[in-house]
């Protein structure tokens, strides 16, 4: 038995043509121009107070980034080998775009909030900071059913913490001092930046460096940072971005054939939010094809279990009320996540609609489980594809969901080419 590498995976021809047009600059220009328009419309029309200032600041940042790319395109046309149109220039524009469309509005809104503006953060930020305060005082981030019921009706929603216990750690700085830099979003952004940097380093150090691979990594970073669905989410709420970044790091480590470390990364994500758990399951199936399933599962399942244990011991009923009953629609109040995806429309428009939507969701889950059992993914790229399309289907069919959750499947799917161009899967051959 000998092993030979598979030929380099190919991306779909249409995506490849669009992605590489003018050295990637054509899609860059479209991304920043459309994002500038979206931000401007948000600034004028949004009914959510934190979104309007984000739109006003981000529109300028996206516009400047688009003008910078337009300048690069002109240089490329006049001087094809000019340094200004190389990959370093594209990375520089991406960094500028993230700083001006995400970090700058985040800092401005955090500063305004610390100065007394109560409308400069989404509810998630307040919930996480309250969870951090409860964790520091009581050893659990959760309020029990009776404690939530005792709150005024208008405050009961904020009494719920529908996250895993690890998310409360981002609220701990606020328990020390009330300042702009203790805003939970600042720490969401810091963890996101460090984690994505580790993912990029991991991919760029794996395998022989190629221009296509580096360009694909850059596109993946853009999908996780400067896309409006990510930039707006981090600047105004932010709790999903560290989870997404850790999942992308786990997949990068999988591409580098580091199953144990991949398990730790996705386990940390799972200790923050349930959205990472499906990714953990698929990664474990990938690791099993390398006889490393137990090593990956130790981190992927062990870390979330370790995070849940203290809350379980302190107040089991409070844990169940927040992590299970509320997300399933059995809490004292209903989730405000009501974006008009098919699952929500079915649940609200049809007789027994919630049962129908739940049945469809279960059917998708069973189909994915059968696929994993019959043909487990053997590459990190295939793992990311299954995770991306699986989460997209789940978001579409969940009765309670929101547009912002689309950041998960979008980033995972755009991450696929970088993974495919990094790893070289091995297949057995008779010889």
DSSP assignment letter at 164: -
- C-alpha distance from residue 329 to each of 151, 282, 315, 338, 398 (Å): 19, 27, 21, 12, 11
In Å, the largest CA–CA distance within the chain is 74
Distance CA 70, CA 26 (A): 9
pLDDT value of position 85: 59
Structure confidence by residue, pLDDT tens digits, 81-90: 555 457 888 9
Distance CA 368, CA 373 (A): 9
pLDDT value of position 137: 93
- C-alpha distance from residue 422 to each of 10, 70, 192, 211, 380 (Å): 12, 30, 22, 11, 9
pLDDT tens digit at each of 431 positions of the chain: 344 444 444 445 576 777 777 778 889 999 999 999 999 999 999 999 999 999 999 999 999 999 999 998 888 877 655 554 578 889 999 999 999 999 999 999 999 999 999 999 999 999 999 999 999 999 999 999 999 999 998 888 889 999 999 999 999 999 999 999 999 999 999 999 999 999 999 998 876 667 788 889 999 999 999 999 999 999 999 899 999 999 999 999 999 999 999 999 999 999 999 999 999 999 999 999 999 999 999 999 999 999 999 999 999 999 999 998 888 777 888 777 667 778 778 877 778 777 888 888 889 889 999 999 999 999 999 999 999 999 999 888 887 777 888 999 999 999 999 999 887 654 443 33
Tracing tokens 């996250």 back to the chain, one arrives at 163
List of residues 6+ apart from 9 with CB closer than 8 A: 379, 381, 420, 421
pLDDT value of position 15: 67
pLDDT value of position 131: 96
Residue 134 lies in a domain: yes
Residue 207 lies in a domain: yes
Distance CA 188, CA 179 (A): 15
Rounded to 5 degrees, what are φ and ψ at 86?
-80, 180
Rounded to 5 degrees, what are φ and ψ at 3?
-125, 135
DSSP assignment letter at 115: T
Residue 248 lies in a domain: yes
Domains held by the chain: number: 1
Distance CA 61, CA 91 (A): 15
**Helix (H, G, I), strand (E, B), or coil: what is residue 352?**
coil
Residue 201 lies in a domain: yes
Distance CA 48, CA 120 (A): 10
Residue 182 lies in a domain: yes
Distance CA 46, CA 369 (A): 40
Residue 363 lies in a domain: no
Structure confidence by residue, pLDDT tens digits, 383-430: 999 999 999 998 888 877 778 889 999 999 999 999 998 876 544 433
Distance CA 84, CA 427 (A): 41
**Radius of gyration from C-alpha coordinates of the chain:** 22
Q: Which of 83, 92, 88, 69 lies closest to 22 in space, CA to CA? A: 69
Phi-psi category of residue 351: left, alpha or beta, with phi > 0 → left and psi -120 to 50 → alpha: beta
Residue 128 lies in a domain: yes
**Helix (H, G, I), strand (E, B), or coil: what is residue 427?**
strand
Distance CA 272, CA 140 (A): 14
pLDDT value of position 293: 92
List of residues 6+ apart from 53 with CB closer than 8 A: 43, 105, 108, 109, 112, 120
Q: What range does the domain containing 279 cover?
A: 121-337
Tracing tokens 């203790």 back to the chain, one arrives at 182
**Helix (H, G, I), strand (E, B), or coil: what is residue 7?**
coil
CB 412 within 8 A of CB 388: yes
- C-alpha distance from residue 73 to each of 14, 28, 227 (Å): 21, 10, 21
CB 417 within 8 A of CB 11: yes
pTM of the shown model: 0.91
List of residues 6+ apart from 118 with CB closer than 8 A: none
Residue 344 lies in a domain: no
Rounded to 5 degrees, what are φ and ψ at 313?
-75, -35
Rounded to 5 degrees, what are φ and ψ at 427?
-125, 145
CB 180 within 8 A of CB 174: no
pLDDT value of position 368: 92
pLDDT value of position 9: 45
């Amino acid at each position: 038995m000998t092993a030979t590498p598979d030929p380099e995976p190919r991306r779909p021809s249409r995506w490849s043509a669009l992605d590489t047009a003018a050295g990637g600059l054509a899609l860059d220009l479209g991304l920043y121009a459309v994002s500038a328009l979206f931000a401007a419309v948000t600034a004028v029309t949004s009914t959510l107070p934190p979104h309007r200032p984000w739109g006003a600041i981000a529109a300028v940042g996206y516009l400047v980034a688009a003008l910078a790319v337009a300048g690069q395109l002109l240089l490329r046309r006049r001087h094809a080998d000019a340094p200004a149109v190389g990959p370093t220039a594209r990375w520089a524009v991406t960094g500028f775009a993230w700083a001006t469309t995400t970090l700058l509005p985040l800092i401005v809104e955090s500063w305004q909030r610390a100065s007394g503006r109560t409308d400069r953060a989404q509810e998630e930020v307040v919930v996480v900071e309250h969870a951090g305060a409860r964790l520091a005082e009581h050893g659990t981030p959760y309020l029990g059913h009776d404690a939530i019921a005792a709150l005024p009706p208008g405050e009961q929603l904020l009494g719920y913490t529908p996250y895993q216990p690890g998310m409360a750690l981002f609220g701990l700085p606020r328990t020390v001092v009330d300042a702009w830099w203790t805003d939970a979003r600042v720490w969401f952004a810091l963890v996101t930046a460090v984690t994505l940097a580790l993912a990029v380093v991991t991919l760029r150090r794996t395998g022989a460096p190629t221009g296509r691979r580096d360009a694909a990594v850059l596109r993946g970073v853009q999908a996780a940072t400067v896309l409006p669905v990510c930039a707006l989410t981090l600047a105004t709420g932010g709790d999903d971005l560290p989870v997404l970044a850790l999942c992308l790091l786990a997949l990068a480590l999988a591409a580098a054939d580091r199953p144990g470390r991949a398990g730790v990364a996705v386990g940390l994500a799972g200790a923050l939010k349930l959205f990472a758990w499906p990714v953990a399951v698929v990664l474990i199936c990938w690791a099993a094809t390398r006889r490393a399933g137990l090593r990956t599962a130790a981190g992927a399942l062990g870390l979330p279990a370790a995070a849940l244990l203290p809350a379980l011991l302190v107040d089991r009923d409070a844990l169940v009320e927040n992590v299970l009953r509320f997300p399933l629609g059995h809490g004292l109040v209903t989730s405000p996540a009501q974006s008009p995806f098919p699952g929500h429309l079915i649940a609200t428009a049809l007789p027994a609609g919630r049962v129908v939507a739940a049945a469809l969701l279960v059917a998708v889950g069973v189909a994915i489980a059968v696929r994993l059992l019959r043909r487990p993914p053997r590459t990190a790229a295939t793992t990311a594809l299954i995770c991306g399309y699986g989460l997209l289907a789940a978001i579409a069919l969940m009765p309670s969901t929101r547009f912002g959750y689309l950041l998960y499947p979008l980033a995972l799917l755009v991450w696929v080419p970088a993974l495919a161009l990094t790893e070289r899967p091995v297949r057995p051959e008779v010889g």
